[in-house]
Structure 1
Amino acid sequence: MSTPRPSLSAEEAEAFAREWIAAWNSGDLERILSHYDDDFEMRSPLIAERGFSSDGCLRGKAAVRPYWAVGLAARPPLHFELIGVHVGVNAIAICYRSVGRARLVVERIQFGEDAKAICAEALYRADPDGA
């Protein structure tokens, strides 16, 4: 895994989040993956729920690709609306709504020196309605 980079500015974080949302909304898996380091780590309860890894963690683009491909193929199609971006130490949190799935999500993304994501974690509301 790459070394963490210095914190992003508010402007850099906002630009990354807008492009990240646009990539997901495009449905282009390669565009989505371009934001990530080759050996990044992805954590999500949906990884375990959907049977991709019992611990909810996938490591590397090769492992994440089929998981995200399933998500992109789902109906209704994925569509995200950006709610906000929060800046932390070497990381940002993107808050967004998954339209059509009645789900609010926070995605925490840590960056390496090359401004690629080295670790990401999707966090979902605990209530069953997700609203």
Structure 2
Amino acid sequence: MNTKEFALKWIKSWNSHDLEDILNHYSEDIEITTPMIKLAGGINTGTLKGKTAVAAYWKKALEKIPDLHFELLEITESVHSIALYYKSVMNKKSIEVMFFNEEGKVNKVIAHYTS
């Protein structure tokens, strides 16, 4: 799958609110760092590890924000990684850097948000 295809599928998955579809993009050992985990989850490190923990967090987030909608603005790529610039929750803009494993699944994410 090329970069643009991945980005469009990823956005579509999130906008569908289908947790299983969202999780299909990620490896079992996914590690996610985002200030939203710190804000919403009260986890000071802002990091979650493992698909089970991430799924539980996202399930709560999707329930809390039923009108969640992402709008893709830009796609950038590097070696085994992609950065998506998109309009996120609370009208914030986000840059999400995703790293891929050998199977093409995202195994690390670092998200940045506008203040």
TM-score, with length taken from structure 2 = 0.93
Q: How does 1:7-46 map to 2 (within 5 A)?
A: 12-46=2-36
Deviation at 1:52, TM superposition (A): 4.8
- Judge conservation of contact 2:70–2:86 (CA < 8 Å) in 1: yes
Structure 2 unaligned spans of 5+: none
- Judge conservation of contact 1:52–1:67 (CA < 8 Å) in 2: no
Q: 2:103 pairs with 114, 126, 129, which one?
A: 114
**Counterpart residue type for residue 106 of structure 1:** I
How much is the aligned-residue C-alpha RMSD, in angstroms?
A: 1.5
Aligned length: 115
Deviation at 1:98, TM superposition (A): 2.0
Runs of 4+ residues over 4 Å off in structure 1: none
Structure 1 unaligned spans of 5+: 1-10, 127-131
Q: Name whichever structure is richer in helix by fraction.
A: 2
Name which one, 1 or 2, has greater alpha-carbon Rg.
1
Distance, in Å, in 2 between the alignment partners of 1:56 and 1:65 is: 15
Percent of pairs identical after alignment? 40
TM-score, with length taken from structure 1 = 0.82
